Amino acid sequence: MDMMESSMAGEETRLLKKHDTIPSSNMHQKYMNTSSGCNSGSNSTNMNEEPFLSFEKNINCNTICVVGSAPNFSYGIIDDIEKLSEITIKHKLYLHVDCCLGGFILPFLKKEKLLKEKFDFELEGVTSISVDTHKYGYTPKGSSIILYRNSDVRKYQYYINTEWDGGIYATPTISGSKSGAIIACTWTSLMYHGISGYTKIAKKLDLLRSLYVCESKKIDGLDVIGNPKSTVIAYRSDKFDIYLVSSKMIEKGWNLNILQNPKSFHLCLTNLHLINQAKNDFINDLKESVQYAKIQPNDNSKGTAAIYGMAKNVPDKSIVKEVATAYLDSLTEK
């Protein structure tokens, strides 16, 4: 797409030769391939903190959209969407909020007064929101929702070609044919759980998150990154190799996401963690894994520690890219 239209309420349509989307920091990679890649540093991880002023400086005449996360994938931290809303109103820009990961549970926490942060259409600047129903909506994989403030914003996702010899071609999304079965199953799951079902799960997950955060903070040398308010808790350490902790945890059967720059990992809470046994086991296993990392500081020859250790030591990152390509090839070739 080399030419893009952009119009804000009350504004004339602007034709942009090149468009910029500015992601807030720690934005999911999905947005990086369509953005200018400037970071707002709008979260509170203390690792990437730049004032909003410097974020505003990234806005230029090609900018049409800012993307914020509620919460972000890596650390489960909710960007200051209220501030982003003020900025985007001031500069007449779209503001997309990525609620794809733990964002589904936020409205239920809000309803129960367990969350203060504003992140949705109650903020005037928010023009669109994405939510993955296939995560905390417990619907089939491949179902996701994009919500728009109004139809004026929505119409830009349509693809219409009136001149095609196959007829007038009009699709509401970038993808063409898709299965109606997923939509039907999604609707059924949403109706099955309903507002009361989702509220019940959200409250339990919220309680578990605060328990895990509180207990994790008592573990010497282990840092919880930022102030997570949803279902993702990320860990790092200045005292030992955090990848030794994640390797040990994975060995014990925990499913974790490994993060880099800086070295860290996160746990994404689901209702499986609500089972009594899991509740206690996680903190006990975490304590044991930290202990292991402290007494075996050089055991980084296997698991995640080995993979990421090796990748970090390769000065030419194109080699790492080649290895990743070979891995993807191996999934698709016989």
Ligand X SMILES: Cc1ncc(COP(=O)(O)O)c(C=O)c1O
User: Are the CB atoms for 222 and 292 separated by under 8 Å?
Assistant: no
30 binds ligand X (CB under 6 A): yes
Structure-token pair, residue 17 = 């030769």
Q: Near ligand X by CB under 6 A, which window of 75-83, 98-106, 162-170, 206-214?
A: 98-106
**To the nearest whole angstrom, how small is the minimum distance from the Cβ of residue 207 to ligand X?**
22
Helix axes 276-295, 180-217, angle to 10 degrees: 60
| Residue closer to ligand X, measured from CB, 258 or 290 | 258
Using CA atoms, how far residue 179 sits from 64, 207, 297, 308, in Å, is 32, 37, 50, 38
**To the nearest whole angstrom, how small is the minimum distance from the Cβ of residue 132 to ligand X?**
5
105 binds ligand X (CB under 6 A): no
Select from 79, 80, 132, 241 the one that contacts ligand X (CB under 6 A): 132
| Residue closer to ligand X, measured from CB, 100 or 109 | 100
User: What is the rounded CA–CA span in Å between residue 26 and residue 250?
Assistant: 24
Residue 128, φ and ψ in degrees, nearest 5: -150, 155
Range list of H helices, the chain: 52-57, 81-91, 106-111, 151-154, 180-217, 242-251, 276-295, 303-313, 317-332
**To the nearest whole angstrom, how small is the minimum distance from the Cβ of residue 147 to ligand X?**
14
Residue 250, φ and ψ in degrees, nearest 5: -65, -40
User: What is the rounded CA–CA span in Å between residue 168 and residue 153?
Assistant: 22
DSSP line for 248-264: HHHHTT---EEETTTTE
Structure-token pair, residue 295 = 């007494």
100 binds ligand X (CB under 6 A): yes
| Residue closer to ligand X, measured from CB, 24 or 88 | 24
Residue 238, φ and ψ in degrees, nearest 5: -95, -10
Question: x/- site string to ligand X, residues 49 to 88, per CB under 6 A?
Answer: --------------------x---x---------------
Q: Near ligand X by CB under 6 A, which window of 96-104, 106-114, 215-223, 281-289?
A: 96-104
CB atoms within 10 A of CB 242: 28
Alpha-carbon Rg of the chain, whole angstroms?
Answer: 22
| Residue closer to ligand X, measured from CB, 99 or 219 | 99
CA nearest 139: which of 102, 202, 193? Answer: 193
Give the binding-site size for ligand X (rule: CB under 6 A). 9
**To the nearest whole angstrom, how small is the minimum distance from the Cβ of residue 178 to ligand X?**
14
**To the nearest whole angstrom, how small is the minimum distance from the Cβ of residue 137 to ligand X?**
12
**To the nearest whole angstrom, how small is the minimum distance from the Cβ of residue 311 to ligand X?**
21
| Residue closer to ligand X, measured from CB, 101 or 286 | 101
**To the nearest whole angstrom, how small is the minimum distance from the Cβ of residue 243 to ligand X?**
21
Give the amino acid at 69: S
| Residue closer to ligand X, measured from CB, 41 or 71 | 71
Q: Near ligand X by CB under 6 A, which window of 97-105, 154-162, 181-189, 222-230?
A: 97-105
Q: Near ligand X by CB under 6 A, which window of 95-103, 189-197, 251-259, 318-326?
A: 95-103
Interaction site with ligand X (CB under 6 A)? 28, 30, 69, 73, 98, 100-101, 132, 144
